[in-house]
Structure 1
Amino acid sequence: MAGIDRGYSSPPIDKVGGSLTDRSRYYSLDAMRGFAAICVVATHFQERYAPSAYLAVDFFFVLSGFIIADIYGKRLSRGLPFQSFMTARIKRLYPLYLIGISVGLVQIILLTSWGLRGQSVVDLLVSTIANGAFLPSPMYFLQANPMQGMFPINGPAWSMFWELLVNIVFALWLFRLSIRALCLVALVSAAVLVCFGLKYGMLNIGWEWPSAVGGLPRVMFSFTAGVVISRLFGGMPAWRKGWVAIVPCLLLMICIAAPVPSMLRPYYDLMFAMALAPIIVMLGLFLEMPAKAEALATWIGYISYPVYILHRGVIGVFKPVAGSLGLNGPLAFFALLSTVVCFAYVTARLVDKTMAIRTRRVQ
């Protein structure tokens, strides 16, 4: 699996609203994460469309650290129980995550029935149970010719595993640290990340078993950097509000879509993860979208997680169907993107309505 089929997070990411600070929403960050999700869809359709898009995960982890610290840091300091924090996180992530697993499972069954993929019933069953519980599949160690992905049912789910793991670390430890101590954690994580980046020749790691060990420093550095940004700048009013806020959005897309020579790849990836991603998040704080763009930015941010966690299974079915119809190239991609966005939006709305009904019933 290429590109982000380590899964790609990434984003994992909470809605930007709901902060306890003076500033309750970050529209530029909403737009950024949506555009990054689209780049991930592009690389999974054809890697050449966005060959560096796996770096979107590093951006997502920085953004997640900022948002989680912004929303929950003070609550945890004031005594929010660990169980309440994790319950809130799982309720936020799991409904769409489970649908993503279901879509991935349907994709595998269809591709197997079409003779395009082979996977044993035992492999499918064990992997589905493990992945459905936010856990990597152990089948890599139990088969002669296993798939290397930790989350073979739905590739992007790998980043959710690391997301929840670092959330646990945050709620038990990171939120208690001073800025100086957080910087030390980030520095140590960065040093380890450099070692793995040079060892593997890139940062497209942490999604498959052979490079699984690289996932921890990757998420620890980026998430901790996001927490530091929240401590330093969270809630501050934007320096400037206007169309100039498009600049960091474009910068992000250029960075994660750019082709990079293989000899420069490890250095480019490390530069983006350890410098550009945090800087871009800060630019998103300082440069805010104009009022005319707020509704669109909010919508783009709203679909980012659904697009990310649902797109892989859709692509798996779309590509052979489109190929049989003679649909390919950019036209096929735009057809796919439209399908993914519509499916993601409708699914997210249905999930939200269902959750709202259940909440009212409980109350």
Structure 2
Amino acid sequence: MRFRAVDTFRGMAAIMVILFHLQHLTVLSGIAFIAKSDIFVDFFFVLSGFVITYSNYDKITNLASIKPFAIKRFRRLYPLHLFTLLLVLAFEIFRYAIDHYVVKLANPVFAEDKSFVSFLANLTLTQSLHLFDRVTWNGPSWSISVEFYTYLVWAFCLVLFRKNLLIICGLCFSLVAWFIVRHHGSIIYNYDYGFVRCLYSFLIGMLTYRLGRRLSPSGNYWPASIAEILLLGLTIYTVSVFTHSESWLMPFLFALVILVFSREKGAIAKFLASDRLEFLGRLSYSYYLNHLIVLNVLDLVLFKVMKLPASRLGESLYILTCLGCVHLLSVFTYRHVELILQKPSSNRSVKSVAEATAF
């Protein structure tokens, strides 16, 4: 089984995160949906819980089974993380040259978020375990850090509690509920409490998959199509208006989206499941980790070096160039970096393909 429609959703969510990091531009300012699109990181977490449960729940039976699972997830996440980390390092060296020989830059080179210690933390995927007071180096990688350790905690819980989901979720959700109440309903954290945020959404994704297995696969085309349209409208509206104190509810909305669209019964889901659009989902991990580097490089080159006017036309050109360059770089990294440590794909099973595109 392939979750092609929700794969496309993941690609679209990654594009919205890109636009979120461009919201400071005049042409995008004031659009509430874009201004709050960083919440789609929780969509990634919920979807990871859904897909990883599908791919690995039956495989994790004892402590020995955790090791191959952890190695497989590490091989999937780490190559692109390391590649983008080195790209950021190269860009800082480039900025140093620009700052000293071309034009003085407003932002300091090798600032506090790009220290040697934080570089070492990024190498060990520990940069977002509350070791620093900000995101470091390639900012979006904070979620990769916490997601990897969420995988490990999830796997150990399955073994420790013998897959008793009532105990696992009762314990974890009790701790998370205490955290949410203490932080006034907000789960929007990254470098500090990102692990709690990830674990919370991941478990919701796990329960969503388990619930989906119990539901009847039958469904009629037109009722499903109407439900998909209403759910899309609800998602757009809710993302546009939610507040930090309501952010704990958003993973439940994303879980509903995943549950409905993973069944691929309606017109919109069938459209999203097309090969051309589903490829967006395959590129989503690269979109997510590559985009901030591309945005920063093009901002420096176009606005600082080439003196592109910061008009609406100039900003529009910058946005289109960014999206195009992110896509091109992501096609390259997907084909030549992301899967470099994976086994040859010619005989991959359906489950391994689904898992390979989860992050």
- Shorter-chain TM range is 0.7 to 0.9
Find the structure with the greater CA-based Rg.
Answer: 2
Deviation digits for residues 231-275 of structure 1 (CA, Å, limit 9, x no counterpart): 22149747356893864566545544x2x4xxx6223322213x3
- CA–CA separation in structure 1 for the residues paired with 2:183 and 2:171: 18
**For residues 188 and 37 of structure 1, do their structure 2 counterparts lie closer, same or farther at Cα, with a shift above 3 Å needed?**
same
After superposition, the C-alpha distances for 1:319-352 in whole angstroms (9 at most, x for unaligned) are 2323222263333212211110111112211226
Q: 1:196 to 1:97 in 2, by over 3 A?
A: farther
Fraction of identical pairs, as percent: 25
Q: Which residue of 2 aligns with 1:32?
A: 9
Q: What letter matches 2:55 in structure 1?
A: I
2:16–2:37 contact (8 Å) kept in structure 1: yes
Matched position secondary structure for 1:37: helix
CA drift of 1:193 comes to 4.2
2:94 and 2:83 map into 1 onto residues whose CA distance is 16
CA deviations 1:139-181 (Å, max 9, x no partner) are: 976xxxxxx324x110011111110111001111136332323
Deviation at 1:296, TM superposition (A): 2.2
Whole-angstrom CA distance in 1 between matches of 2:183 and 2:129: 25
TM-score by length of structure 1 reads 0.76
1:76 to 55, 60, 66: 60
Taking the aligned partners of 1:240 and 1:110, their CA distance within structure 2 comes to: 57
Q: 1:325 aligns with which of 308, 311, 321?
A: 308
Q: Which residues of 2 match residues 187-202 of structure 1 at below 5 A? A: 187-198=173-184, 202=186
| CA apart distance, 1:93 | 0.8
Question: Does residue 100 of the first structure (1) align with residue 91 of the second (2)?
Answer: no
RMSD between superposed Cα atoms in Å: 3.2
| Match in the other structure for 1:350 | 336
2:150 maps to 1:166 = yes
Q: Does residue 63 of structure 1 match 2:47?
A: yes
Contact 2:83 2:337 (C-alpha < 8 Å) held by counterparts: no
* Total equivalences in the alignment: 317
Stretches of structure 1 lacking an aligned partner (at least 5 in a row): 1-23, 142-147
Amino acid in structure 2 at the alignment position of 1:229: T
**1:133 CA displacement:** 2.0
Match of 1:268 among 246, 252, 261: 246
For the residue of structure 1 that corresponds to 2:9, the secondary structure is: helix
Aligned to 2:203, which of 199, 209, 224?
224
Task: For residue 224 of structure 1, report the CA deviation from its aligned partner.
Answer: 0.7
Structure 1 109/139 Cα, relative in aligned 2: closer, same or farther at 3 Å?
farther
Counterpart residue number, 2:108:
118
SS at match of 1:75: coil
Matched residue, 1:286: 263
Find the aligned partners of 2:171 and 2:294 in 1 and give their Cα distance. 38
2:126 equivalent in structure 1: 135
Alpha-carbon separation, structure 1, partners of 2:220 and 2:10: 20
Q: State the TM-score, normalizing by the size of structure 2.
A: 0.77
| Aligned amino acid, residue 174 of structure 1 | L
